[in-house]
Structure 1
Amino acid sequence: MHARTSFSSHTESTVETELMLTPSAAASARQLLRGSTRKTAKITKRTDTSETLMAQDSVGFVRNTDDLGLVSWVPADTIRMSEALIIDTEEFPRASSVIDFESVAALPFRHKVRWFLQELDKVAVPWEEGHLLLKIRRDAVLEESMHLLMLIPAADIRQRLRIEFIDEPGLDAGGLLREWVLLLCERLFDGSYGLFQSSHVENFGYWINTNSAQLKPDHLKCFEFIGRLIAKCLLEGQLLTVHFSLPLLKHILGVPISFSDLEFLDEDLCKNANWLRDHSDVDTLSLDFTVQSFDANGKALPPIELVPGGGGIAVTDANKDEYLVALLKYHMFDSVHEQVAALLKGIFDVLPRNLLAAFDYQELELLICGVPKIDVDDWKRHTDVKFADFDHPSKAEHKVIDWFWAIVAEFSQDQRARLLQFVTGTSRVPVEGFKGLLSNDGRVRRFGIQMVGRGIPPTGLYPKAHTCFNRIDVPLYTSKEEVATYLTLVINMEITGFTMQ
């Protein structure tokens, strides 16, 4: 790794740490990114936990992390949330030492977000005290980013980050950082990479691939990096371009996971478990306390015992609740607990562990991914329009603006998301709506439309995007159809990079 501390030209007090890989370190990084016996036993039926779980789906189990960072799976009613949450001010010297959890949790979401952003500002290192410049090659964006950001102390991740793609022009005023996040998400959540898989539901989110160790020997390092990336995006006001499954969001928050949450991983599994719960004579199914497992290539592996000696324990009406509790524990925790622990370590090495506690899992998704539905009225309301002559806009310019919004209103949500990504570098809206669009250093920068003259067709009629400033240059079109034609062309080009301005 090549790392140097340099001083900004405009002030001697601003420290910038530059991170990049030398050829030898790059080779080393690539190299870094290249493992029962069944017993018979007797099981007794626990009537308290299992019967409560089966009778009331809202009661279940929770991921618990102790002071040493060890993760365990415990009944939810054994964990009690304190009215006041303590934050380690030795590790996070600027953060609030005590959070009035009940008061914050009771706030409306928009007020909760405002509180959260204020707390993040206390956690982040001020720009003048130090910031990071990550210099990477586009064709090795994941490998080099992971290698560099896993080498530095977690506390340094709290510094503001700028991105530079080696051998490419462009100063990062926010757009490159957004693209960097987009490129990392595309790689990390690609099924072929082996870390995540889509859950088997219509509106899927990503769940941990139980075979990640087979596909990626250094998978735990990868999950810890993803945790750091999530924390960094929260600090920088950046949005992930992927959605997590509901159980994974619950693991991050440490809130109860119940029997009904199986639906968000596999609908068929949930239906079969529900049938088993609601019917008698289950001993005719010849089930035992094991689950069938498969390797990454779909080859069947020896059954996994849900309890010690599970292969010798038949599932009956008397112990089926115990079986379902063990089944839930396996799918939600045992099969992925190492990956979950690594992900949580990455997040909470950077952010205070209790800072997210005031949010529920739905609110957490909005914080991480933004508001998925694009409201055109909200977009229009928080857009600044600049005309060629600011004081004397022409009727022709007003017509083009009206046509622009009419076309956007006619677009599908996917097309709106593509247009938003073309102009801002991200396809998602911040949790506060369009009024919360950010620029380079986490400061709000509204969406902008700049009217420009017509150029030489056809390229002179393409809209131009300035992603660092959330602005689109719109030529003086002569018809609504012309606006629709060129807007549709640019959003379907799938341009990645800064070939456009």
Structure 2
Amino acid sequence: MAWDGHGKRQAGDLQDQGLEAKRPRKTETESKDLCGLCESVYAQLEGPGDKSKIRQGLHHLIVQLQDVSYGYRSIDCKVALKRQLLRLLPPLAKQISAASNKGDSLVEVVGSFVDCIVRSGFAQSSRDRRDIIASGAWLMCMEPLKAGKPEDVVSAVHIYLHLSDHVGFYDDFIGMHSEFWHPSIFREILKHMPTVLHLPDSLQADEWELRCPDIEAAIKCLFCFLLFWTAKEPENRFTFEIPEALPLLNAALDAIEKYDLLFGSEIGAKCRGDPLEELIRILGLLTQFVVEKIDSQETNEQNEEVMQQLQQHAAAVLRLLVRLLKLKIPTCGAKPEAITDGPIPVDERQQDSEWIQNLFERLSDEEPPVSAACLMDVFRAMVDMPLEEQRYRLECLAPMVPRFMAGFVDQLRQKTVPPELADFKIVMNNVLQECATSFALELLEEVSFYPCLLDFTTKRAMLHAQCDRVRLTQGSGDPIRIVVPRDNVLDGVCSTLNLQDSQARIDVPLEIEFRAGYSDDTGNELVDEGEDQGGPRRQWLDRACRYFIASDLFMSPAEDAAHLEFSQTSRQRGARGIIVPSPEPVCQCVQEDWTEQFELFGCVIGFAILNKETVPVHFGHNFLRSVFGLKTDTADLLPLLEHVDKTLHTKLTYILSGSYKDLGDTLEDVLEQSHLPRTFVVSESHCQELVRSTPLLEGGDRMSVTEENKEKFVQLLLDRILISGVAQQVQYFQRGLLRVVPHELVQRITGIMSVKEIELMLCGADGIDVDDWEKYTEYENGYTSESVVVRWFWEVVREMPQHMRAQLLSFSTGSSQVPSGGFRFLQPELFTIQRVGVTDRFPAAHTCANTLDLPEYTSKAVLEQHLRFALEETGDSFGLR
């Protein structure tokens, strides 16, 4: 191989040589003359051994070989000449070893001769290099290491690296000569390797591509050296200290980090990744070494000084592993196996996530091995990486994240994300939103203590992953099978769920079947066709929620609260309106089994949470806070009322402000105008004959509201409306929820989500965005987004009012609600439109798979007519579904 004085390959190298090579080619006759010269030198070596003639002959060969090109094609290779040259090496080595004067000038000539053979391209094959090593003549090339010029040292290092690749080291140790890997020689080589890898700032992309193999060769050489000595029996092993390898590894990583950032996209993928592959392989081996040594020290209880030294070695390797994660070279592939005895697998560009964990667990807690600034650099580099690269790197760093976040605990506890964690937050949310089910549980647990680091989508993904685990671990008993009519979806459900037993847990799956509404010839009522794989359950949850919010057990602030003077307002409730439980006296009056009904509603919401479904109900925040155990301070009641009843909130705020005095009004005037009680009594029903008024305190009916006690009145009124007046309703609803959802999961929900986020998770998004729906739709059986029928379909949907869009969504998926975050989070699959190659059928749906069968209609008008008929006439019956 040919290098200049700075370790740079010249055109004589087979790898770099091509048609552009300018060196003059020797004729076949001149090649034969060189073979004859080799014969002459060989005769001297085997005969009288005249050193002057041997030196003279070698000088002639060196001069002549400088103009001989080995050839860039196999037919151009001077094979006969090569064999003659390599034939001279064993007797030359023997001649030198027999000499009494080791400083004989023949040593230098032989070293130059071997160097010339390599430079001229006559040692390209593994066998050629193996023969050079076997001869021992290569040792003459190592002489400059002792006291040579810098350029000679660089040349010696390059020759050594070139020869080191003479055998498949990872699976074959035959022919690996111990003298080649002698520690005294290798240490000298290792000392100078960083110099060889030092690259000029003026390097260009094509030069960087040629230097990558140099980095690969240097690291591979170190790896082979370590494997050679560790393969021996323990008593014959050589002790290698990890700090000896650090200069080379840091130099290699410095070069890769600098130049891959500049030229990574301009060079070949293999050339770009090979040095990284070798770095990962050697660091895996060093990780294994240091882990074994630390464990051995702990077992043998050696002195503390040795243990501290080993921990320093572990920290150094750990820092290199972390720096590797900063590189943007693609790494994702099959995950390597955990560290085992023997060589690290070939062709892997990933470090195992266990490597960092194994090292980190063996370090003391006194000082972090990797600075926070270094980790921030890694996260900053990860922000722009593909998701899979982010996931892999974050999983590797997971053991270090808790200590990293510990430096910012005060800000995090104040629900503030410091700027230093901004990139970490972006990466972590990207990963957890997509990979929560398979990610490191320790990291999930640690991050969950600081909800401000988590986006809502991430929190939901984490909770959905836990819901999946709960369902997988549910009891092995038969599913609960509920058969109900469509016009009374709660018929007989309480007894089926065994709500009479206050201790009963519902820990088996739920299956729903709807009665078809007609009987067979024998008089038996039929059920809808199809198996419940999610669609019927979604529809049952949707209808059950609509039943409850339409009942008198719940009220909407839009109806005017009971504490206001009754007026004949519409009691129609929008599906998306806020609802709160009716006051306890009202519940007792309107339904005898009201406690059981609240418990059943809690079960329904529990099923929705556990099955990751959204429901058409918006609970008041005070009710949700109480159900999920979120504490509410007295000072929070008035702000909380604004979400429940804005009208009342405005009136009470006005009373407390006292600004009515500026208008000449009295408090009594304001209470009368606001339809609020003038004593400490609240009317909780519009029907005074059935439900009596409730005093806010003992003797409240005799206590007038005055300027002096108005704050106390407002506070008692807020407590009655938001807390004490719905305490029983909350208790029974919560009991039903906990029958279905484990207490640990409820605690996790309250630990990471605010009440607004809980509402969003339960209820999904407001309205239906057709653009978002179309964006996250898939097509099957011949349809594409550009199909004419598909374009007609979306035009018709855009022309529909919101209630019909909700009806279409319910018809196709079983639920009228859009998941929070939009249609990309539709469960269990994206909405799909499937082609049906007929024109005389109505659309049908497979709600379990969120699929709509859309016939290939002949016009937009026909499509709209058939779609509207399917929605209006067939309603929610499943038919083919």
| Common topology (TM > 0.5) | yes
Task: Tell whether 2:747 aligns with 1:354.
Answer: yes
1:240 aligned residue: 615
Superposition pairs for residues 99-114 of structure 1, below 5 Å? Answer: 101-114=448-461
Correspondent of 2:765 among 371, 387, 394 = 371
Superposition pairs for residues 177-326 of structure 1, below 5 Å? Answer: 177-191=537-551, 194-200=552-558, 204-210=577-583, 211-253=586-628, 254-256=630-632, 257-279=636-658, 280=661, 281-282=666-667, 287-294=678-685, 297=687, 299=689, 301-326=691-716
Task: Tell whether 2:837 aligns with 1:464.
Answer: no
Instruction: Give per-residue Cα distances to partners, 1:268-305, cap 9 Å, x unaligned.
Output: 4334323321225426769222223436x453754321
Task: Tell whether 2:416 aligns with 1:416.
Answer: no
Q: Take 1:354 and 1:227, find their aligned partners in 2: how far apart are those partners?
A: 16
SS in 1 for 2:723: helix
2:237 aligned residue: none
Quick one: structure 1 residues 122 and 273, their matched pair in 2 at CA, closer, same or farther if it must change by over 3 Å?
same
Q: Take 1:305 and 1:271, find their aligned partners in 2: how far apart are those partners?
A: 23
1:451 touches 1:475 (CA, 8 Å); kept in 2?
yes
1:431 aligned residue: 820
Instruction: Give per-residue Cα distances to partners, 1:16-73, cap 9 Å, x unaligned.
Output: xxxxxxxxxxxxxxxxxxxxxxxxxxxxxxxxxxxxxxxxxxxxxxxxxxxxxxxxxx
Deviation of 1:430 after TM superposition, in Å, equals 2.0
What letter is aligned with 1:471?
T
Structure 2, unmatched stretches of 5+, are 1-412, 416-440, 516-525, 560-573, 672-676
Q: Take 1:429 and 1:108, find their aligned partners in 2: how far apart are those partners?
A: 19
Deviation of 1:208 after TM superposition, in Å, equals 0.6
Q: Take 1:283 and 1:407, find their aligned partners in 2: how far apart are those partners?
A: 56
Q: Take 2:593 and 2:475, find their aligned partners in 1: how far apart are those partners?
A: 36
Correspondent of 2:490 among 139, 142, 167 = 142
2:105 aligned residue: none
2:868 aligned residue: 488
Structure 1, unmatched stretches of 5+, are 1-80, 84-94, 439-443
SS in 2 for 1:451: strand
Quick one: structure 1 residues 153 and 320, their matched pair in 2 at CA, closer, same or farther if it must change by over 3 Å?
closer
2:469 aligned residue: 122
Deviates more, 1:141-150 or 1:277-286: 277-286
1:131 touches 1:161 (CA, 8 Å); kept in 2?
no
Quick one: structure 1 residues 267 and 480, their matched pair in 2 at CA, closer, same or farther if it must change by over 3 Å?
same
Deviation of 1:368 after TM superposition, in Å, equals 1.0
Quick one: structure 1 residues 137 and 113, their matched pair in 2 at CA, closer, same or farther if it must change by over 3 Å?
closer
2:484 touches 2:490 (CA, 8 Å); kept in 1?
no
Deviation of 1:127 after TM superposition, in Å, equals 6.4
Q: Take 1:418 and 1:125, find their aligned partners in 2: how far apart are those partners?
A: 32
Q: Take 2:653 and 2:815, find their aligned partners in 1: how far apart are those partners?
A: 40
Deviation of 1:100 after TM superposition, in Å, equals 5.4
Q: Take 1:143 and 1:363, find their aligned partners in 2: how far apart are those partners?
A: 32
Q: Take 1:331 and 1:409, find their aligned partners in 2: how far apart are those partners?
A: 41
Q: Take 1:418 and 1:431, find their aligned partners in 2: how far apart are those partners?
A: 18
Task: Give the paired residue count.
Answer: 393
SS in 1 for 2:510: strand
Quick one: structure 1 residues 494 and 308, their matched pair in 2 at CA, closer, same or farther if it must change by over 3 Å?
farther
SS in 2 for 1:189: helix
SS in 1 for 2:796: helix
What letter is aligned with 1:312?
R
Deviation of 1:445 after TM superposition, in Å, equals 1.8
Correspondent of 2:480 among 128, 133, 157 = 133
Deviation of 1:216 after TM superposition, in Å, equals 1.6
2:467 touches 2:612 (CA, 8 Å); kept in 1?
no
Correspondent of 1:158 among 501, 507, 525 = 507
Q: Take 2:597 and 2:815, find their aligned partners in 1: how far apart are those partners?
A: 23
Q: Take 1:261 and 1:165, find their aligned partners in 2: how far apart are those partners?
A: 40
Deviation of 1:364 after TM superposition, in Å, equals 1.2
SS in 1 for 2:790: helix
1:283 touches 1:317 (CA, 8 Å); kept in 2?
no
Higher strand fraction: Structure 1 or Structure 2? 1
**Higher RCO structure (Cα 8 Å, ≥6 apart):** 1
SS in 2 for 1:372: coil
Deviates more, 1:174-183 or 1:202-211: 202-211
Instruction: Give per-residue Cα distances to partners, 1:138-180, cap 9 Å, x unaligned.
Output: 2664131122212578774233222234631321121111222
SS in 2 for 1:158: coil
Q: Take 2:503 and 2:768, find their aligned partners in 1: how far apart are those partners?
A: 35
1:335 aligned residue: 725
What letter is aligned with 2:854?
V
Task: Calculate the TM-score normalised by the size of structure 1.
Answer: 0.70
What letter is aligned with 2:473?
P
Instruction: Give per-residue Cα distances to partners, 1:112-140, cap 9 Å, x unaligned.
Output: 11111122223334368345131323266
Quick one: structure 1 residues 267 and 446, their matched pair in 2 at CA, closer, same or farther if it must change by over 3 Å?
closer
1:234 touches 1:368 (CA, 8 Å); kept in 2?
yes
What letter is aligned with 1:117?
H
What letter is aligned with 1:158?
D
What letter is aligned with 1:144?
G
What letter is aligned with 1:118?
A
Quick one: structure 1 residues 430 and 153, their matched pair in 2 at CA, closer, same or farther if it must change by over 3 Å?
farther
1:449 aligned residue: 833
SS in 1 for 2:708: coil
Q: Take 2:475 and 2:641, find their aligned partners in 1: how far apart are those partners?
A: 47
1:373 touches 1:413 (CA, 8 Å); kept in 2?
yes
1:451 touches 1:473 (CA, 8 Å); kept in 2?
yes
Q: Take 1:157 and 1:404, find their aligned partners in 2: how far apart are those partners?
A: 42
Q: Take 2:726 and 2:769, find their aligned partners in 1: how far apart are those partners?
A: 37
Q: Take 1:410 and 1:303, find their aligned partners in 2: how far apart are those partners?
A: 49
Quick one: structure 1 residues 110 and 133, their matched pair in 2 at CA, closer, same or farther if it must change by over 3 Å?
same
Higher helix fraction: Structure 1 or Structure 2? 2
Q: Could you tell me the percent identity over the aligned residues?
A: 28
Q: Take 2:535 and 2:496, find their aligned partners in 1: how far apart are those partners?
A: 21
